[in-house]
Structure 1
């Protein structure tokens, strides 16, 4: 029998349960979402289904209204059916997977699982999303058949965005169940799998909560402020901007306190147990309901002045009063900001001699030693711990990777000078001449295994193709400062960008031309994709605006035209190459990055896709073929024989509005709805597999006998399209959704997309529309308001409405 998840039950409709239900629905699973019947029903409500389902329906509505969005597409909510645990619990008998997400109370969980045991169908998988209660206590006394299909599946919040899924085997869980859920979680739900042991708070929260507690206590001991700590433990150390205290506000201080208490109570032998006793000011905050974002105030809060200006405030733990936030700095942080690589930034911070650097080193040693002492208690290898912190807390490096970046031997020598106790297995590793936790050999990454005292390959999914590993195996064919062409195997090559935010410049355009020539002679097909960039990262944030700004200020319009011709020629060569080209976008795919994807034969996109042609925001239009190719994406979905008889206005207006309103999708599902992805394009949930899946698509197209598309003239809206959008522009101007300059730009965009001064239904060759793109772009560059928009974006990172 081939096991499948067609229907799942999620019991508990809070933010976590709602998030899991939304993720499952987005993956095509039908979901039964259940919660309790309200305790406060009036007599006339006790038989009213709507009243009895009030809690679960409110939970679903909260998930639909959540920001950031928990659903990839709100239409996915149609796969979710709500119910309550008295009237509808029997529906779990139809489910392949039953997930418990109720309050962290052992008695409540055991009562619920007793009901589930009686109703579930044989063979169905049952899991708990508990964050700390031992599984052995939850399932004690249940049948063997139940225990064989029971395990922990610990998602992290917000479920859609956090890559981590901890899997915790029960003592009796069947290996086939563990393997199936791991594969389903990785491929269908897009998660990074970490295998945890049945220990309190598992891996991510055991390590993460200890660090938070240790830093809060050390801050009080060393006399630092909340703002100073957050300045240190942010991007300079490869951490998110939420750092420590903004993270606590995001998670909720009540949750932080609960997880700390859980670790303290259940880990009596933990050598750092006292770090879990949080400072007194935390208890005062909880008493005052200062829990963070959920209550509107925590360590930080935002106040509005009478002029509606937002003022950021920060808590002074000594006085328990809020004061204006003054962002502190340290010499080590200032130096780190000037460095390019994370290792260089880490060297600045951990080797500095100012107060911030000394505090960073003190807490780094705490992290190193605590993580080292948890192997093999909570996980068998260092890989699980590093991945849990990267995927569950959005760290760029886990503790062992950070230790490597500093230098294992150097760190140990420095710690021993401070009389810190270094674990025996760390010293044993060094004594054997092994000076790093990870190493790359012949394109394969290895980690040090303390059990065998040897290096082993880091586990990787069978669908994963690593550009970094290929480059480490000397498979780079050509490169410059901005891009590389890499052999990723099976005669498939990959163009990788590596500028800041993967912005497109002349070097990238030049390499793309050379790469197409090389693949034409030596390869079967091409992937365009990147790996670097964090979460969500940027496939490409668009053209290099600094370059465009310089040309505008210097009035070098001929050079602008030459650059655009080269960019258009590159996209057109991608479109009509003799071999398949597949784009693999993720995260931000804006402007020129979107144009490259529109030029590819196929798009294999990550589910988290923020895609759009946003050039109007800087006073320009898509002129790398984007205006033409978006229109082409819309009309090529029509059968050729019926295209001329179709009301093209139904296609023209939404295609035009995508550009005129700088529409950006909030997911790949939305990008498909917006017309940027076609029916032949694919969506991949796991970003780790994106390059591998794009490569598979190339090979499938080759195997199917790839035939490049033929150049054909495009049917266009002509002058009727321009007249049609004038009404839309008028309404947008009146509603103040568009400025006069926006309207000026939009009218010209409609002229370009419509094919110029021709009649509706005319056919126009592609070169004509590309020339219209270039001319409009150059004319826009002459506008003072456009130049102001470009310069404002470069200076502030925000659009200017002028």
Structure 2
């Protein structure tokens, strides 16, 4: 029997249960979402189905109302049916996977599983999303067949956005069940799989909450402030901007306290147990319901002034009063800001001699100790711990990778000099002459395995193609400061961007042209793809605005036109290359990045796709073929004969609006609804597999006997379209969705997309629309308001509405 998940049940409709249900629905699974019948029903309500389902319906509505959305598309909600555990429990017999997400109480969970065991069909997988209760306690006394199909699946919140899925097998879980859920979680749900042991809080929270507890303890001891700690433990150390305390506000201070207490209570032999005893002010905050973002404040809060301006406040831990937030800094952070790579930044912060650097080292050394001492207690390898922290806490480097970046021997020597204990397994590793936790040989990444005392290959998905590994195996064809062309095997090459935010500049445009020539002579096809740490990341945030700004200020309009012409020629060369070109976008795909994808034969996109032509926000329009290729994408979606008969106005307004209001998709599903992805384009759940899946698409197109598209004239709406959108512009102006300058830009955008001064139904050459794009772009560059928008974006990162 081939195991499949056609229908799943989620029991518990809180924010976690709703998130799991939304994720499963987005993966194409039919979902039954169940919760309890309310205890406070009147006699009349006891016979009312709506009243009996009040709790689950409230949970469903809360999931639909979340922002950012837990759903890739609100349409996915149609796959979810709701019910209660009294009236609908028999429906569990229809399910292939049952996920329990109820309150962290052993008796409640065991009572629920007794009910589930009576109705589930043989072979159905049952998992608990517990973060602390041992699986053996939950399954004790159940039938053997139930135990063989029972395990832990610990999702992280918010479920859609957190890459980590911890899998925890029970003592008697069948290996085929474990392997199946790992495959399904990785491929269908897009998660990074970490194998954890049945220990309290598993891997991510065991390491993560101890790290938070240690930082709070040391902060108290060293008289540091909350803003100072967060300044240090942010991007300079490869951590998210939310650092320590903003992250805790997101998670909930009560949740963090519960996890810390759970570790303390259930891990009596933990050598760092004292760091899990949180200071008294944390208990006071919990008592006062100062729980973070779920309440009116936690470590931080935002207040509105009478002028409706937002003021950020931060907690004074001595007085428990909020004070104005002042952004602190330290010499080590000032130096780190000047560095390009994370390793260089880490060196500045962890090896500096100022107060901030000393504190950062104290916390990081503690993290080194704790992580090393948890192998093999909570996981069998350092890889599981590093991945858990990267995927569950959005660290760019896990603790062992950070240790490598610092220098293992150097860190150990410093720890010894400061009287800190060095974990025995690390001492033994160094005694064997092994001086790093990871190494790269012939494109293969290895990790040091404490149990065998040898290096082993880091496990990777068979669907994954690593650009970094190919580079490590000397497969780089050429590279410059902005881009690389890499051989990724089977005569397929990948062009990778590596500018800041992967912004498109002249060097990238030239490199794409060079790559196309190379692949035509030496390869079967090309992938346009990047690798980047963290989520969502940026495939490309658009054109290099600083370059455009410089040319605008210097009034070098001929150079602007020449740059655009070169970019357009490059995009057209991609479109009509004699081999398949597949773009593999993820995260931010804006402006020129979006235009690059629209020029490809096919798009293989990650589910988290924030895609749009946003140039109007900086006073410009898409002029790398974006206006033309979005219109073309809409037209190509129609059968050939239909194009002659279709009402072009319906499509023209949609294309115009996408550009005029800078519409950005909040997911790949929405990008498809917006017309940026066509029916032939694919959506991939797991970003780790994106380049590999794009490569597969290239090879499939080659196997299918790829024929490049024929260049043909485009049917346009002409003057009729320009008159039509005036009403739309008027409405947007009246609703204050658009400024007068936006309206000025929008009218010119309508002129370009419609094909210029021509009649409805006219057919014009692609080059004619491309020329209209360039002319409009250059004219906009002459406008002071456009220059102001560009400079404001460069200075603040935010659009100016002038």
What is the TM-score normalised by the length of structure 2? 1.00
Give 2:637's aligned residue.
Answer: 637
Equivalent residue number for residue 594 of structure 1: 594
State whether residues 501 and 533 of structure 1, in contact with CA within 8 Å, keep that contact through their aligned partners in structure 2: no
Number of aligned residues: 802
Residues in 2 aligned to 1:798 and 1:209: alpha-carbon distance in whole angstroms? 34
RMSD (CA atoms): 0.6
Other-structure match for 1:124 = 124
3-state SS of paired residue (1:496): strand
Give the ranges of 4+ consecutive aligned residues of structure 1 lying more than 6 Å apart after TM superposition.
none
Residue 533 of structure 1 and its aligned partner are, at CA, apart by 4.5
Is the partner of 1:395 in helix, strand or coil? coil
CA distance in 2, matches of 1:420, 1:265: 25
Per the TM alignment, residue 84 of structure 1 is displaced from its structure 2 partner at its CA by 0.6
3-state DSSP of counterpart to 1:9: strand
User: Is contact 2:128-2:151 (8 Å) kept?
Assistant: yes
Is 1:134 aligned with 2:134?
yes
Give the equivalent residue in structure 1 for 2:147.
Answer: 147
Matches within 5 A, 1:239-278: 239-278=239-278
Please give the residue correspondences for 1:218-297 in structure 2 after superposition, counting only pairs within 5 Å. 218-297=218-297
Question: How many Å apart are 1:418 and its aligned residue?
Answer: 1.1
What displacement does 1:740 show? Answer: 1.0
- Partner in structure 1 of residue 317 of structure 2: 317
How far apart, in 2, do the equivalents of 1:283 and 1:243 lie? 21
Give the conservation status (yes or no) of the 8 Å contact 1:18–1:59.
yes
Following TM superposition, by how much is the alpha carbon of 1:535 offset from its aligned partner in structure 2, in angstroms?
1.2
Task: State whether residues 390 and 534 of structure 2, in contact with CA within 8 Å, keep that contact through their aligned partners in structure 1.
Answer: no
Which structure 2 residues correspond to residues 41-56 of structure 1 after superposition, within 5 A?
A: 41-56=41-56
Q: Which residue of 2 aligns with 1:576?
A: 576
Which residue does 1:650 correspond to in 2? 650
Work out the CA distance in 2 between the residues paired with 1:536 and 1:71: 16
User: Paired residue for 1:603?
Assistant: 603
1:435-485 deviation digits (Å, cap 9, x = unpaired): 000000000000000111100000000000000000011100011110010
Q: Secondary structure at the match of 1:323?
A: strand
Report which stretch shifted further, 331-340 or 663-672.
Answer: 331-340
Distance in 2 (alpha carbons) for counterparts of 1:403 and 1:638? 55
8 Å CA contact retained: 1:196, 1:378: yes
Structure 2 residue aligned with 1:379: 379
What is the correspondence of 1:400-419 to structure 2 with a 5 Å cutoff?
400-419=400-419
Give SS of 1:724's match: helix
Work out whether 1:715 is the aligned partner of 2:737.
Answer: no
Structure 1 counterpart of 2:183:
183
Deviation at 1:77, TM superposition (A): 0.3
> What is aligned with 2:198?
198
Alignment match, 2:475: 475
CA distance in 2, matches of 1:385, 1:656: 48
CA offset at residue 534 of structure 1? 2.3
Cα deviation digits, residues 601-644 of structure 1 (max 9, x gap): 00000000000000000010000000000000001111111211
Deviations 1:78-104 (A, max 9, x none): 000010111111111000000000000
Instruction: For 1:371 and 1:480, locate their aligned partners in 2 and report how far apart those are by CA, in whole Å.
Output: 38
Q: Which residue of 1 aligns with 2:306?
A: 306
| Residue in 1 that maps onto 2:352 | 352
- Displacement of 1:735 after TM fit? 1.1
Match runs of 1:541-580 below 5 Å = 541-580=541-580
Query: Which SS does the other structure have where 1:249 is aligned?
Result: helix
C-alpha deviation, 1:289, in angstroms:
0.7
- In 2, distance between residues paired with 1:639 and 1:387? 46
Map 1:54-93 onto structure 2 (within 5 A). 54-93=54-93
Determine the C-alpha separation between the residues in 2 that align with 1:247 and 1:98.
Answer: 30
Shift of 1:430: 0.6
Which residue matches 2:433? Answer: 433
The aligned residue for residue 628 of structure 2 is 628
How many Å apart are 1:327 and its aligned residue?
1.1
2:679 is equivalent to residue 666 of structure 1: no
The 3-state SS of whatever aligns with 2:664 is coil
Q: Partners in 2 of 1:718 and 1:224 — Cα distance?
A: 65
Whether the aligned pair in 2 keeps the contact of 1:10 and 1:98 (CA below 8 Å) is yes
1:115 corresponds to 2:85: no
1:344-379 deviations in Å (ceiling 9; x for gaps): 000000111111100111111100010000000000
Partner of 1:94: 94
Determine the C-alpha separation between the residues in 2 that align with 1:534 and 1:486.
Answer: 22
Task: Give yes or no for the alignment of 1:456 onto 2:456.
Answer: yes
Equivalent residue for 1:693? 693
Equivalent residue number for residue 213 of structure 2: 213
Question: How far apart, CA to CA, are the structure 2 residues paired with 1:620 and 1:227?
Answer: 38
Partner-residue secondary structure (3-state), 1:33: strand
Distance in 2 (CA, whole Å) between partners of 1:389 and 1:618 is: 37
Q: Is the 8 A contact 2:396 2:533 kept in 1?
A: no
How far apart in 2 are the matches of 1:766 and 1:553? Answer: 31
Deviation sequence 1:113-136 (CA, Å, 0-9, x none): 000000001101000000000000
Q: Contact conserved, 2:604 with 2:683, CA < 8 A, in 1?
A: yes
Whether 2:614 is the aligned partner of 1:614: answer yes
CA distance in 1, matches of 2:534, 2:130: 28
Checking the alignment, whether the CA contact within 8 Å between 1:203 and 1:385 is kept in structure 2 is yes
Determine helix, strand or coil for the equivalent of 2:83: strand
Paired with 1:757 and 1:232, the residues of 2 have a C-alpha distance of: 58
Aligned residue number for residue 530 of structure 2: 530
CA displacement, residues 233-268 of structure 1 (integer Å, 9 cap, x when unaligned): 111100001111111111001101110111011000
Aligned-partner SS, 1:295? coil
- Matched position secondary structure for 1:464: coil
CA contact (8 A) 1:721 1:750 kept: yes
- Displacement after TM superposition at 1:287 (Å): 1.1
Q: Deviations over 1:20-59 (max 9, x none)?
A: 0000000000000000111111221111111111110110
C-alpha distance after superposition, 1:195-223 (max 9, x if no partner): 00000000000000111111111110111
Task: Provide the rounded CA distance (Å) in 1 between the counterparts of 2:386 and 2:652.
Answer: 49
> Contact between 1:403 and 1:411, CA under 8 Å: does it hold in 2?
yes
Q: Do the aligned residues in 2 keep the contact of 1:477 with 1:486 (CA within 8 Å)?
A: yes
CA deviation vs aligned residue, 1:536-561 (integer Å, no higher than 9, x gap): 10000000001101111111111011
Task: Check whether the contact 2:752–2:773 (CA below 8 A) recurs between aligned residues.
Answer: yes
CA distance in 2, matches of 1:798, 1:361: 34
Deviation string 1:538-586 (CA, Å, 9 cap, x unpaired) is 0000000011011111111110110000000000000000000000000
Q: What residue in structure 1 maps to residue 423 of structure 2?
A: 423
Match of 1:10 in 2: 10
Counterparts of 1:409 and 1:444, CA distance in 2: 23
User: 1: CA distance between counterparts of 2:417 and 2:100?
Assistant: 49
Q: 2:775, 2:716 → 1: CA distance? A: 18
Local SS of the residue matching 1:644: helix
User: Distance between the aligned counterparts of 1:314 and 1:478, measured in 2?
Assistant: 49
Q: Is the Cα contact below 8 Å between 1:11 and 1:100 reproduced in 2?
A: yes
* Residues in 2 aligned to 1:200 and 1:568: alpha-carbon distance in whole angstroms: 57
- Given that residues 718 and 760 in structure 2 are in contact (C-alpha distance below 8 angstroms), is that contact kept between their aligned partners in structure 1? yes
* C-alpha spacing 1:585/1:801, structure 2 compared with 1 (3 Å): same
